[in-house]
């Protein structure tokens, strides 16, 4: 992963939210989610523009969601194909995966 990427910002809008990486050129990589009750989130979408391609931006976004869910005692349903693929690759995330 590229450590030169900007910090991830969490935007929480009640029942929905997103994690965002903003580039200096205004480009945004995002991972959106929907809250299901107090203990579960659904990852809906991960979008990475060309400005962030090949830098591990998508993985960073999903990793941050996993870390935040773990810290809050939540589980994740990865409906987004990218996030689902990352969960298959990272067995260490099994504790937050909703089965």
Domain residue spans in the chain?
8-90
For residue 17, the cross-strand partners are 12, 33
In terms of DSSP H, where are the helices of 1-99?
57-72, 81-89
Token pair recorded at residue 8: 């991830």
- In tens, the pLDDT along 35-93 reads 999 999 999 999 999 999 899 999 999 999 999 999 999 999 999 999 999 999 999 99
36 CB neighbour count, 10 Å cutoff: 15
- In tens, the pLDDT along 70-85 reads 999 999 999 999 999 9
Q: Can you tell me whether residue 92 is helix, strand or coil? A: helix
Give the domain 8-90 fold: Aminopeptidase (3.40.630)
What pTM did the predictor assign?
0.92
Instruction: Tell me how far apart the alpha carbons of residues 72 and 53 are, in angstroms, rounded to a whole number.
Output: 30
Owner of token pair 């809008």: 13
């Amino acid at each position: 992963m590229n450590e030169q990427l900007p910090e991830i910002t969490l935007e929480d809008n009640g029942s929905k939210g997103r994690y965002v990486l903003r580039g200096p050129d205004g480009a945004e990589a995002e991972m959106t989610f929907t809250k299901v009750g107090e203990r579960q989130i659904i990852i809906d979408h991960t979008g990475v523009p060309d400005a962030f391609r090949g830098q591990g931006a998508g993985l960073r976004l999903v990793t941050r969601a996993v870390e935040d869910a773990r810290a809050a005692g939540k589980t994740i349903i990865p409906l987004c194909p990218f996030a689902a693929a990352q969960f298959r690759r990272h067995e260490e995330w099994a504790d937050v995966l909703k089965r």
